[in-house]
Structure 1
Amino acid sequence: MTMPRQSDILDLISNYRSKGEPFALATVVRTVSVTAAKAGAKAVILADGSITEGWIGGGCARGAVLKAAREALADGQSRLVSIQPDEQLSEHRVKAGEIRDGVVYAKNMCPSQGTMDVFVEPVLPRPHLTVCGASPVAVALADLARRMGFFVTVCAPAPEHAGFGEADRLVDGYAIPVDGSERDYVVIATQGRGDSLALKAAVQAPCKYLAFVGSRKKAAALKADLTASGVASERLEHIHAPAGLNIGAITPDEIAFSIVAEMIEIRRRGQRTL
């Protein structure tokens, strides 16, 4: 078998990153005795479990690594998989499938009986935030969220685009782009200029976080109007209003900070043990 060149894998990684497609990078970091792949071998694994480029060995390692890759892409956490023969597992007093000190142990069923340690790293696209409006909070939010690693789309009337800094994408009006996903974040920061229009567009879009910058009373009134206009009430149940964590924010920058903090809390939920 012809081994793939390192440059091919690096090119593929760059390509997936530029397209914003999630993948996992598996790297063999240590081998003991006879193994098909050696330290430094890499493979690119997609969310469906397919290896698009690279080599991490045969069936002895493949199943455990692919399982770790799927789990890593689901929760965003890296994993170190140690594939060992049964005797080695017994010596370490661990069982296949057990996790100890951050290491996932798996059994090597192949006659070679070698040991292979594989680091599996999820490479996820930048989280996507859509900001509707051109209020001072919207401008501050777009700037801060981008610095926190979000891909920022601004939806606002074209004449108001000049008020923003380096947004990743500018959309004329409040129509949410159709290429969104259930992993996205949407914040309505119109603050009196197109509130209903923006919120009505936002509740139709898939997202994991939808927030409205305004009081609970104002949000309740808008929800009532949208329900009366035919918007299903279940689409309105999960709107965060007022947007952001309750830190006593007053200024636009402080409100933007509270919103980004809330988005980060939601994004990282379950990824760290306190």
Structure 2
Amino acid sequence: MTVHPDVLELISRLKAADEAFVLATVVRTVSVTAAKAGAKAVIRPDGTIVAGWIGGGCARGATLRAAHEALADGKSRLVSIQPEDLLAELGVKPDEDREGIKFAKNMCPSQGTMDIFIEPILPRPALLILGSSPVAEALVEEARPLGYHVTLAAPLAEFPTTPEADVLIDGFEIGPLTATRRFLVVSTQGKGDEAALRAALSIDAEYHGFVGSRRKMAALRQKLAAEGFDAAMLDRVKAPAGLDIGAITPEEIAMSILAEITARRRLGQRGESSLKNVAAASSHA
């Protein structure tokens, strides 16, 4: 089945804009069904099907429920919509999950079967880097191939060449941010530490890292706490940033930081043991 160009065009536009959506694809049909294998639909987070078609009301409810779940946990899933007698033959109940398949009951007169693959397309996680240090530059270079949307905020005149970040901000004043998972690193290393840290503390992020010694961070913490900054907020800043791998060069330090951030990003996707591994590797902080 040929995909309508409007669907492909919309997918491209939504990806470029870093907007979340679900791509639903009919992968199998049995007996009489309205949609055929290969049919696709683009579903927004509010449940609106904005392009394409995957059939009528028989498939819509189960598909939209699965799309909502997929956007919540970031995982793809297969939905099998079957008549009640076939579900009984398989020994499964509607809404039951078995071996990676979510089963749903087809209540339409057609009594056909449809298998629909639900794929969440999520915005790239955002990495905000404050500073013009060699580590900041290494973070920009290493983060983009890992799938991060990189914003670099620093006095741009301090760079010998223009860094290849997705967004460049001259200074530390970061404006409105998109709604996505966000990780932040202050890597000023002596050039505007306090100003960058002040800006960083005003930004909501899953991770705040400071490239610098514990002693330097302790001094900054004491000063900012005395000015009224929330102690719990200051305690969330990881200093020194990164896993303790004995890193020395800027590239190695950047790698250790991205490893720590990636562990946070993937937390829960590979089981509870991943949490223990992250905690053990970060125990030097």
Q: For this structure pair, what is the TM-score category when the shorter chain's length is used for normalisation?
A: over 0.9
- Please list every run of 5 or more consecutive structure 1 residues that lacks an aligned counterpart in the other structure: none
**Mapping for residues 33-44 of structure 1, pairs under 5 Å:** 33-44=31-42
Letter matched to residue 223 of structure 2: D
Letter matched to residue 202 of structure 1: A
Does structure 2 conserve the Cα–Cα contact (< 8 Å) formed by 1:129 and 1:186?
Answer: yes
> What corresponds to 1:258 in structure 2?
256
2:143 counterpart of 1:141:
no
Question: Distance between the aligned counterparts of 1:272 and 1:56, measured in 2?
Answer: 32
When the two structures are superposed, what TM-score results if normalisation uses the length of structure 1?
0.93
State the Cα deviation string for residues 42-98 of structure 1 (Å, max 9, x = none).
Answer: 110111111111111122111111111111112211111111111111111112222
More displaced stretch, 151-160 vs 232-241: 232-241
Question: Distance between the aligned counterparts of 1:187 and 1:241, measured in 2?
Answer: 10
Question: Distance between the aligned counterparts of 1:98 and 1:105, measured in 2?
Answer: 6
- Please list every run of 5 or more consecutive structure 2 residues that lacks an aligned counterpart in the other structure: 274-285
- Alignment CA distance shift 1:201-1:138 (3 Å): same
> What corresponds to 1:16 in structure 2?
14
Identity in percent: 58
Question: Distance between the aligned counterparts of 2:113 and 2:242, measured in 1?
Answer: 48
How many correspondences in the alignment? 271
Instruction: Give the C-alpha shift of residue 143 in structure 1.
Output: 0.6
Q: Aligned match of 1:31 in 29, 32, 44?
A: 29
Please give the root-mean-square deviation of Cα atoms over the aligned residues, in Å.
Answer: 1.8
Q: Aligned match of 1:219 in 211, 214, 217?
A: 217
Does structure 2 conserve the Cα–Cα contact (< 8 Å) formed by 1:161 and 1:170?
Answer: no
- Alignment CA distance shift 1:75-1:19 (3 Å): same
- Alignment CA distance shift 1:141-1:5 (3 Å): closer
When the two structures are superposed, what TM-score results if normalisation uses the length of structure 2?
0.90
**Mapping for residues 82-161 of structure 1, pairs under 5 Å:** 82-161=80-159
Q: Name the SS for the 1:202 alignment partner.
A: helix
2:168 counterpart of 1:170:
yes
Instruction: Give the C-alpha shift of residue 206 in structure 1.
Output: 2.0
State the Cα deviation string for residues 163-216 of structure 1 (Å, max 9, x = none).
Answer: 554211211111123224461111000111111111111111122221111222
Question: Distance between the aligned counterparts of 2:225 and 2:51, measured in 1?
Answer: 50
Q: Name the SS for the 2:65 alignment partner.
A: helix
Q: Name the SS for the 1:162 alignment partner.
A: coil
> What corresponds to 1:61 in structure 2?
59
Does structure 2 conserve the Cα–Cα contact (< 8 Å) formed by 1:249 and 1:258?
Answer: yes
More displaced stretch, 15-24 vs 161-170: 161-170
Question: Distance between the aligned counterparts of 1:231 and 1:267, measured in 2?
Answer: 27
State the Cα deviation string for residues 114-147 of structure 1 (Å, max 9, x = none).
Answer: 1100001111122111111111111111110012
